Structure 1
Amino acid sequence: MKLNIDYQEKFQSRHIAPNEADTAQMLKAIGVNSLDELISQTIPEKIRLKAPLDLPPAKSEFDYLNTLKQTASKNKVFKSFIGQGYYDVIVPGVIQRNILENPGWYTQYTPYQAEIAQGRLQALLNFQTMVIELTGMEIANASLLDEGTAAAEAMFMQYSTRKNQSANVFFVSEEVFPQTIDILKTRAQPYGIELLIGDHQTVELTDEMFGAIIQYPAGSGAVYNYKSYAEKAHEKAIKLTVVADIMSLVLLTPPGEWGADIVVGSTQRFGVPMGFGGPHAAFFATKEEYKRSIPGRIIGVTIDSAGDYALRMALQTREQHIRRDKATSNICTAQALLAIMAGMYAVYHGPKGVKLIAERIHGLTILLAESLKQLGYDQLNGAYFDTVKFDLGALAGPIHSEAVNNQMNFNYKGSAVTISVDETTSPEDIKTIVRFFARVKGKSLNDVSFDELTQNLKTVIPADLQRKSAYLTHAIFNSHHSEHEMLRYIKSLEAKDLSLCHSMIALGSCTMKLNATTEMVPVTWAEFSKMHPFAPTDQVGGYMQLFDELNKWLSEITGFAAMSLQPNAGAQGEYAGLMVIRAYHNDKGDSHRNIALIPSSAHGTNPASAAMAGMKIVVVRCDDNGNIDVADLKAKADQYKNELSCLMVTYPSTHGVFEESIIEICEIIHANGGQVYMDGANMNAQVGLTSPANIGADVCHLNLHKTFCIPHGGGGPGMGPIGVAKHLVPYLPGHAVVDIDKGKSIHAVSSAPWGSASILVISHAYIAMMGSEGLTNATRYAILNANYIKKRLEHHYPVLYTGANGRCAHEMILDCRAFKNFGIEVTDIAKRLMDYGFHAPTVSFPVAGTVMVEPTESEPKHELDRFCDAMISIRHEIDNVEKGILDKTDNPLKNAPHTASVITANEWEHPYTRQNAAFPLPYVAAFKFWPSVGRVNDTYGDRTLICSCPPLTDYEFEESEVTTPEYGT
């Protein structure tokens, strides 16, 4: 027997699920002889790539991790005292292992189907409650992307709700972090908002100002009493935003008690690693009166069909999909996984534990300041929490050298230095700093009465700024402080949520594919997780190599000249791409080009992003086949040829079809002076077979949390980097702190230079281990799986749109509108799927009354069959309603989902059996996932909005309040 010692397992065989036998059976069912034949019938020949992707050979999982370790070693993990919104943390092991590193939490989808998402909804409600209590505000959302963009959202909320419509000046304290000011500049430009940057203590407040923003503590570390400033602002009808350090609010008077209208910030230091900039959960808290203007997602309390406590996303959860270009924000996501971690940090430590941590940080900061004072250094901040500031003069250079020699990073600005203490700082660290500060002056540690200072530490926070109000008072923050209790609590919530651990999540447009363990492992390596985003460039060689490789690979995949990795969400990528187009036109002297043509089928974020970029939206019709109406496009491009800025197009289309006319569409736009922006939501049907540049696009954002395997995390994190053609490269986003300017860069769109850098390693791993062949095969199998489902279901549910040869791309739309004639809504199908153990496909988008199905390449044939069997069984149930065999109002669809408590109740009064309700197909018994609540009542929840944790003993409902609502989508 000859032995093969060159064998190396291919990662693609682990990522792509269908085996050879499955593939043959699916091809036969579809009616083609080969995968190549299917692809040729699906993707127009004129847009297909002529050569394979030029990527490095695929690595095995073992080899990749070994190679990445070498890359990671080029990152020098110094002790960070830089601060500026980023701090080292101690991640509780029970949270790291059981949430951050647990696929039961990171492979969940956004909780749109609330009945099978009660665990993460409760965890996010905990987060909101934590934020409300710490900030002293009345309502909070379930997180935003980062501190800087949260501040920008606050500015725009103030602008859009201003009473004086002529007011267009926004005051920005010069002590707001520079990365935040940079983003404010980006957001202000398209609306003509004038930023007045200055000293809050001397600025003259005028009627032209609609809002103001200050930092608490300030960027220098100083803690100011802003109460009188807030009063003066309100006298002028100026709304006040406060950017607050959440850890400091444990000791400082919360902004809600001295006049803030909005409080934003980052929860990163509540147990979330720095990760070279992210991902981190920002918070946004405000007054009750602004509840319908607050951006992002809000978790609210409601009741289910039995009248019991339940949770769901409330109010304008997807406002931009409803209001489109009239939306006040394009936010379509959150940082759910990171918000959950931060909330759990508060649950685990409780009010006493968090206060001890804050006091320790504050105490060590005072110890440092007083020790250096004894050495003759003048500390410039009067009151402070965790940051001290010194003007070192000629000693700045020697101090910098000593710090580097001791592997410590401070924040330098000229001769000034700030030093920020965090949770990981120890008394020994303070001694080390004092020792080399002493050495520079020819002194020693013996010149400091260190022990005496340690024994006599007293706060420097003035009495009127010391917090007196209670916080984290709810029982949830006072119950789970032992690890065993915390573990059980986390697991009890996890058990309520359906994730990819349980079954396929066939969400059209959302590409819920395998997030391989090997891709996830490096995220928590110290070399990646403990890096400050503003660390010196000579310390971050590993990250720079990773970014460079990912940039090259994504450029090759898209056909573009370069990428910006900064946008940290898909909608953020849309906005960044449009701002790049805007800058390009302005630079050419074409600032009048402000018309964006957008097909009627587009994602709601497209028109919302275009409006935020200062563009006017003109809608292009779609024809009866769901394709862009080329004649209408041509007419409108010609009509607006002098003002045309761009076309926003999704490809394959939002209807799941490779439009044959795409090259002609792009040529029409270019001929009329416009640029083509391609939405990359459906990139999983392009990689290796065609590309955005190949069809004629100029810009494209990539949803790395879709095509390139970053997990959805229960509603975030995501990443939305943009690729651009050569002529647009100079305009890619820059940054105020780290020099990444391309020559004519727009201001930053995210707080960190490379966005949520630590999760870029996931996409890097995916591409490196798949290689050219693997990535191309992934696309081929995604198309195969979709067309197999189409073949199995098209005789039961009409497929709304197909390509020229009757094929769909990687997804399809199943038409359920006819069922409404006999009382069945598409929502009923979605809820009934839960009884079969599945999360519903995308509901009522892009066409109301439909479901959009996308299986991805990661699902095997038997899972596709299980899903199809469920859909066909539901179709038979619908038939029985139509025929009168099942009651029109009391049937398994209308009553779905059925909980264990309903099934096991003593009484059963329905005309169908318990068996049929809970175990409608034989396989369900072996895979049963029980929804933890019955169908949620959205109407009740919005009518009685509760967005923080109510004591369950107090949460009782009058019988008259429990109604049967009209359930929407």
Structure 2
Amino acid sequence: MTRTRNEFIARHIGPRAADTAAMLELLGYDDLEALTASVIPDSIKGSSVLGDSDGQGEAEALAAIKAIAAKNQLFTSYIGQGYYGTHTPAPILRNLLENPAWYTAYTPYQPEISQGRLEALLNFQTLISDLSGLPIANASLLDEGTAAAEAMTFCKRLAKNKASNAFFASQHCHPQTLDILRTRAEPLGIEVVVGDEREIGDAGAYFGALLQYPASNGDIFDYRALVERLHAAGALVAVAADLLALCLLTPPGEFGADVAIGSAQRFGVPLGFGGPHAAYFATRDNFKRDMPGRLVGVSLDRFGKPALRLAMQTREQHIRREKATSNICTAQVLLANIASMFAVYHGPQGLTAIARRVHQLTAVLAQGLAKLGHKVEQQHFFDTLSLHTGAQTAELHARARALRINLREIDAERLGLSLDETTTPEQVEALWALFAGEQAVPSFDSLLAQVASRLPEGLLRQSAILAHPVFNRYHSETELMRYLRKLADKDLALDRSMIPLGSCTMKLNAASEMIPVTWAEFGNLHPFAPAEQSQGYAELTSELEAMLCAATGYDAVSLQPNAGSQGEYAGLLAIRAYHHSRGDDQRDICLIPQSAHGTNPATASMVGMRVVVTACDERGNVDIADLRAKAEEHSERLAAIMITYPSTHGVFEEGIREICEIIHANGGQVYIDGANMNAMVGLCAPGQFGGDVSHLNLHKTFCIPHGGGGPGVGPIGVKAHLAPFLPGHAGLARKEGAVSAAPFGSASILPITWMYIRMMGGKGLRRATQMAILNANYIARRLEEHFPVLYSGDNGLVAHECILDLRPLKETSGIGVDDVAKRLIDFGFHAPTMSFPVAGTLMVEPTESESKEELDRFCDAMIAIREEIRAVEQGRLDKDDNPLKNAPHTAAELVGEWRHGYSREQAVYPLASLVEAKYWPPVGRVDNVFGDRNLVCACPSIEAYQDA
């Protein structure tokens, strides 16, 4: 017998052995190897370097990662710098963060089945708008540093001062933010000028400015006069503001700021060695259509009742492509929802009490330090102090670490202290003892009784916060638990049914993979803690980088990019830096096939490259003749090609090696978008068949959950010649080129992928890929006589997804993809990807995690829908009043007066199996146009609420 039993592979892969045999028989293959041999082009067979290692069982893998986690040392950190200790309320931890109804949900592109997470995000937007004093906020961005970079380019687009190419950034901003600004600015020709805002000189020299409030070192400056000066010169002003401090301080919107950005991390989201955390971005109403990221808006459904949806610029980079203002196509939804519920649970009084307590402890700390002879550099502060400690500095740091305390390292003669929600009076006394030397430690209680506020009187907040009822009701655990359950019940997530989205790989997020995420050893570590305290993370990331190199065939990996879009960006930055290192500064042309993801041209534009689109043939493959002609035409300036493989059309293109050779022959580099890596792991490897760099979506192929639209991780793998140009960070050996605020981006969710790969092993990963291909081809075969499959390879097979062509049905019945997508809700399914990459089609990807029973349930639903369309075609159902045009059907409609020409039973129970387990959509079909024309992006006002 074997020493341990690995049950995980069979748990992750849906179909059983008999099911696999039946599906293979339908396709005409004897086994998975024969199917794989037919799907993978001969030119790239055998390119995988993954190996055939065995995986570990769940218990064994959990024990192994527990041992790694134990190597992280949890000191009490007063480092601050944008990252703070916080208490995640237990009911939020249990009912949201650890609840698959929340973490397995997909991006709310189908609003009718996403009303719960959309409401939580609307709460988040309202929270941000209230605290920032600005009328409109988005549904979150990736982290504070990248939000600041988005604010910089936002100011560049909208500022009246068009003559300037310089952006002023205060030296009081967090250092990591300044690093990201420099990374983003350089390819765009923007000059970042870092200086003291109190000595800014000619305001007309800048198109915009970024200020920190409170400053990174703790000071609170009055920016009102400066903002007026900048506005008079035609510049826009962005303010990076601490949300907890804004409970007590005048908000940026009230002193004239045009943009407020920052992090919502300290609202209940663990430190997590840097992420994932929800950044925020708020602005003025007249700038709303230029705001980056996603925006939740209020609209109406077909019954005239309020319904939520993603508004306006949703996935705008897929529409505007290289003209897009950002390549962001995600949000930190799961983390934004935690912050949202933190505010709901505590309410305005609770948040204000937390803020007051943190400030009071800081004021007491400062008073005690003064008594001990240490001069605090700040006159006014919220939670952060800096001290000039001179020659004592190194000794104080050493003494602190001996007591398991981390202080902020500002420079050789200064150090900093930031308190937070978790700080206790005992810890303040321990800090006094650290600084006291031989002196007696002050009495905490006596200082507490006499200490005064150190907030500036003229900047105390006068406006109310969070007056809406949602922030003033759910303050008992019972109420919050039921609220979270009510919201989750409105949604369809992977815990209810298959989510067959093509290109998005909604596979299983196994419980054993998720368990380590909430361990304190991973969750409570500050990203800027000394390296010797994060040896567990060092081991985890080193092993994970090696795992991903083996899976992709690349030589080096960076885990820093915290979204697929950021991975794309980091990959093209590496290519650009490589060309520049060789003196090829003129190489700025990026070839992109017309079928590519919209993020690709948007990303190329962000790194200063010019996009040249190449054609596709009638089968959806890259037109190699057109590609060759354009590569040769631009050979002197060719920087790169961005190509998705398998193709965006879900097919393994035969000519991929030839494509790579053409690009290399003309001096360019090959960027292979790793969005479809789910079809390659263990079978072929982009780093071995011609790719120079790829980003990977760990939230797709490697099992990190989508969490309602985020978090994500988008690491890049590169060949050896690009390795010196991977993203750097102040906390890494290479200092330049940071693309995320923390050195390892969203580090705390990396254990998910480590666990997945460790448990699957090389054999299991290869098997998963084969099963993903089998499941996709099974669906394609079952549905092809009902809906034509638009693209396939020479052998009639698809890769891991298939595109169903509904365009002919629109001609014969008037039924389009929207109607089929909404009708699928009545069957209890999330829709496939609509109209991408081809308008009027549905792209279906089942993943390897779905059982044959679930695949058949989906196919049965689609076939039943085709019969309903046929009834419309034949006149048995009215072309306007039919189950598809009226879908989805709500329970409220069912019990009301029934005026349709089809039965209630057909509307809500189109298949008998639905009687046993029915999902009821909370709203009818949402009116998108109304929502954009009447934009409301926060909880309704009290007056509107009372009127209703």
TM-score range with shorter-chain normalisation?
over 0.9
* 1:961 aligned residue: none
* 1:916 aligned residue: 906
* 2:82 aligned residue: 85
* 1:455 aligned residue: 449
Q: Are residue 739 (structure 1) and residue 732 (structure 2) matched?
A: yes
Answer whether contact 1:731 1:746 (CA < 8 A) is retained.
no
| Offset of residue 405 of structure 1 | 1.6
Q: Are residue 749 (structure 1) and residue 745 (structure 2) matched?
A: no
Q: Are residue 892 (structure 1) and residue 888 (structure 2) matched?
A: no
| Offset of residue 953 of structure 1 | 7.3
Answer whether contact 2:728 2:736 (CA < 8 A) is retained.
yes
Distance 2:43 2:917 in 1: 45
Matches within 5 A, 1:235-384: 235-384=232-381
* 2:130 aligned residue: 133
* Distance 1:211-1:904 versus aligned 2 partners, 3 A rule: same
Matches within 5 A, 1:495-894: 495-736=489-730, 738-741=731-734, 746-821=736-811, 822-894=813-885
| Offset of residue 362 of structure 1 | 0.3
Q: Percent identity?
A: 57
Answer whether contact 2:425 2:444 (CA < 8 A) is retained.
no
Task: After superposition, give the CA deviation of every residue in 1:688-711 in whole Å (9 maximum; x if it has no partner).
Answer: 000111220000000000000000
Distance 1:361 1:789 in 2: 57
Distance 1:571 1:376 in 2: 50
SS in 2 for 1:292: helix
Matches within 5 A, 1:905-944: 905=896, 907-944=897-934
Distance 1:268 1:830 in 2: 36
SS in 2 for 1:901: helix
Structure 2 unaligned regions, length at least 5: none
- Greater mean deviation of Cα atoms: 605-614 or 396-405: 396-405
Task: After superposition, give the CA deviation of every residue in 1:598-645 in whole Å (9 maximum; x if it has no partner).
Answer: 000000000000000100000000000100000000000000000000
Task: After superposition, give the CA deviation of every residue in 1:906-945 in whole Å (9 maximum; x if it has no partner).
Answer: x101000000000001111112101000000111111110
Answer whether contact 2:386 2:415 (CA < 8 A) is retained.
yes
SS in 1 for 2:455: coil
| Offset of residue 556 of structure 1 | 1.0
Structure 1 unaligned regions, length at least 5: 959-969
Q: Are residue 26 (structure 1) and residue 20 (structure 2) matched?
A: no
| Offset of residue 954 of structure 1 | 2.1
Amino acid aligned to 2:854: E
Distance 1:51 1:210 in 2: 50
Distance 1:953 1:781 in 2: 55
* 2:230 aligned residue: 233
* 1:963 aligned residue: none
Q: Identify which of 183, 186, 192 aligns with 1:186.
A: 183
Distance 1:917 1:361 in 2: 56
Amino acid aligned to 2:751: V
Q: Are residue 471 (structure 1) and residue 469 (structure 2) matched?
A: no
| Offset of residue 17 of structure 1 | 1.1
Distance 2:492 2:946 in 1: 28
Distance 1:376 1:236 in 2: 44
Amino acid aligned to 2:508: L
| Offset of residue 56 of structure 1 | 5.4
- Greater mean deviation of Cα atoms: 717-726 or 45-54: 45-54
Amino acid aligned to 1:802: S
Answer whether contact 1:49 1:694 (CA < 8 A) is retained.
no
CA RMSD of aligned residues (A): 1.2
Distance 1:942 1:205 in 2: 40
Task: After superposition, give the CA deviation of every residue in 1:209-264 in whole Å (9 maximum; x if it has no partner).
Answer: 11000100001111111111111111101100000010000011101110100000
Distance 2:24 2:386 in 1: 68
Answer whether contact 2:79 2:418 (CA < 8 A) is retained.
yes
Distance 2:526 2:449 in 1: 32
| Offset of residue 418 of structure 1 | 0.6
* 1:494 aligned residue: 488
Amino acid aligned to 1:927: A
Distance 2:557 2:177 in 1: 22
Matches within 5 A, 1:77-156: 77-156=74-153
Amino acid aligned to 1:729: A
* Distance 1:323-1:916 versus aligned 2 partners, 3 A rule: same
Answer whether contact 2:47 2:685 (CA < 8 A) is retained.
no
* Distance 1:344-1:865 versus aligned 2 partners, 3 A rule: same
Distance 2:152 2:248 in 1: 27
Distance 2:838 2:18 in 1: 36
SS in 1 for 2:308: strand
TM-score, normalisation: structure 1: 0.97
| Offset of residue 401 of structure 1 | 1.9
Distance 1:9 1:769 in 2: 8
Answer whether contact 1:579 1:746 (CA < 8 A) is retained.
no
Distance 2:809 2:91 in 1: 47
Answer whether contact 2:713 2:746 (CA < 8 A) is retained.
yes
Answer whether contact 1:509 1:654 (CA < 8 A) is retained.
yes
* 1:962 aligned residue: none
Amino acid aligned to 2:69: A
SS in 2 for 1:39: helix
Q: Are residue 427 (structure 1) and residue 418 (structure 2) matched?
A: no
Amino acid aligned to 2:884: L
Amino acid aligned to 2:500: A
Amino acid aligned to 1:855: P
* Distance 1:942-1:51 versus aligned 2 partners, 3 A rule: closer
Answer whether contact 2:467 2:942 (CA < 8 A) is retained.
no
Q: Are residue 210 (structure 1) and residue 202 (structure 2) matched?
A: no
| Offset of residue 190 of structure 1 | 1.3
| Offset of residue 7 of structure 1 | 5.0
